[in-house]
Structure 1
Amino acid sequence: MNPHWLRVLAITLLWATGLLTIGCGRPQADRPVIRQESFRQDRGAENRLRLDARVSGGRLTLDRSDPGLLYNLDLRWDAANMSRRVDFTSGDTASLVFTLQGKMPSDDTVHSILSLAPDIPLELMVDTGAGETHLDLTGLNVDRVNLTHGVGKLKVTIDEPQETVCRSMDIACGVGEMELRDLGNLMPETIDIKGGLGRAWLGFDGVRPGRTQAHLIVGIGNLDIELPADFGVRVLTAGNVPDSLCIPMEHFERRAGAYVNPAYRDARQVVELSMKPGLGNATLKIRD
């Protein structure tokens, strides 16, 4: 095995062990003091909203807000063992910073529900830890999204095609499970994914026309990509397909240094994939 990847594996395993055992050897947590709070901001003259959300534990739900609201945050948290920060800065480009850090209770007590205005371009930066996160981007106007995923479970859904263009989606996978559904309703111009120790699944169901350039770095875990047969797909590889990349060759032909499916030339939705192999596996599936 390549010495570089041995070092990467060792560092990643140590990092994962540290996350999974956080709190060991520390004094026992104080008795929980559960608080419920709500924060909201009415829609004003803002032309853009930047969100920086960092949540170390508990459940996080993101969806669209009611008409007239820029954002609404309903928060249930443990004030004895956690700290929270909610800062809003108004302006043409408004900013919302939300952090929830600390040791969460063993039960399902901590829950953050964040709703954002559907009629304003959004730049989303979401960093999740050991909890469960569901980002429902349906009906939102997502311009850019940056996701960093820890040891919990992250799910992204887009049930309806977005009217405006999404410029970019950057994803850093951790040791947990990540599931991104309905990416064909978002069709970001670029997707950059850095694989981790866990499993990531990307599904491109959806009907929004567009072309996506996807750059994938396979980590130590598994990365699965599923596309409908009517999508145009082009897979760029340097030379032969590496062992860590599984491509259904019955759907592709070699052309000009890439693997191309029959729908590539005339499809309204096109995904171009470039992959850098790692210790894990990447599997591409074409669904008939």
Structure 2
Amino acid sequence: MQPVLEIGPCEGFTLWPVAESTPYGFLPLHGALAPEDVGTAMVFIADYNNCEPDEDGDPPLVDALGGFLHGLLTMEDLSTSGGLRITDTATGTTFLPGCCNGLDERRDWLEVLDGDGRASFGHGPSPLAERRGAIVRLTVDAERDDSPVIELPVTELRRLLARAERDLVDFLHLAAGWATVHLREYATPVTTALCRALDLPAQGIRASAPEAHAEGTDFGAHMRAQSVDWFLDRLRSVARIPASDDDNDLVTGLLLVSHEVDGMSEWRVRDGTVRIRAAGQDHRYLDE
């Protein structure tokens, strides 16, 4: 099971780097996405919540970046197009969200587990989940008599839902860090709006935009080993950002990186580079 976002083409988009995308498809959201994939996700989350400025409401943001983000930053009710994708690895059958379903509606799965035992997730196709005793039956398209189905135990579905929720939280942490690099002064309000669009709590998710004398952010994510190199390259790019004031202060920071085999290390951002060393004793308790 994966939380997925409905995406499309990004041709001509220049406000931040994006990945090449198919005309239509679903992008899995998790904490190990490449920066360009995070950028693609943010394009479609912002565009899905796009709206024209209200004459009696908030004034439009004057720059191009602010104009594109206007709806995300000003609308009261935010949502995302997508949902949860489930693939039966034995048969290859895939249960996909239908049209007009959103990731913010994933709580409907709890109705299947703990409520009336039935929930639908959009149309065209019309995916349907039904609890039948200790088994949950997933019908790929309830409008078809010959629709493929997936069956799994209630306990397994509960475990998969918990893992999908962790993937979304990891994506949110990743996107918060991405925003500080690409969205400048909009990083903090966009991160707050993203929490609402994904129906996730904002506690512990912070991103701050550049100020006159300081900049700061917290970042945390579970990351696959194959994604560490691109993240380190990105961090080195951040370390090389030129000073913006007369104090000539470069970016500084400390990341504690824990590896299941190699243990904990410190990544120190200073003097325009990233220095990696074994974690000091004062931090090792975090890895216990």
When normalised by structure 1's length, the TM-score is 0.28
Higher normalized strand content (fraction of residues):
1
Structure having the higher helix fraction is 2
TM-score, length-scaled by structure 2: 0.28
